[in-house]
């Protein structure tokens, strides 16, 4: 089960698609634990 902060992180990544690649990379580093949970195949 995702925590509210994980969902917020996912929303932040969703908004990040409109940012520059460097900014997206930085956000991925920050939110990697949440991304790992959300993007498991």
Per-residue pLDDT of the chain (41 residues; tens, 9 = 90+): 678 888 888 888 777 677 778 877 887 787 777 656 666 66
Cα(first)–Cα(last) distance of the chain, in Å? 16
pLDDT at position 35: 58
DSSP-derived secondary structure letter, 5: H
Distance CA 31, CA 21 (A): 15
Q: Token pair of 29, please? A: 């580093």
Residue 38: its pLDDT value, please?
A: 64
pLDDT at 39: 62
Full 3-state SS string of 6-39: HHHHHHHHHHHCCCCHHHHHHHHHHHHHHHHHHC
Instruction: Report pTM.
Output: 0.34
């Amino acid at each position: 089960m995702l925590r509210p902060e994980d969902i917020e992180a996912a929303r932040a990544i969703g908004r990040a698609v409109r940012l520059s690649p460097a900014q997206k990379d930085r956000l991925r580093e920050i939110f990697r634990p949440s991304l790992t949970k959300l993007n498991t195949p």
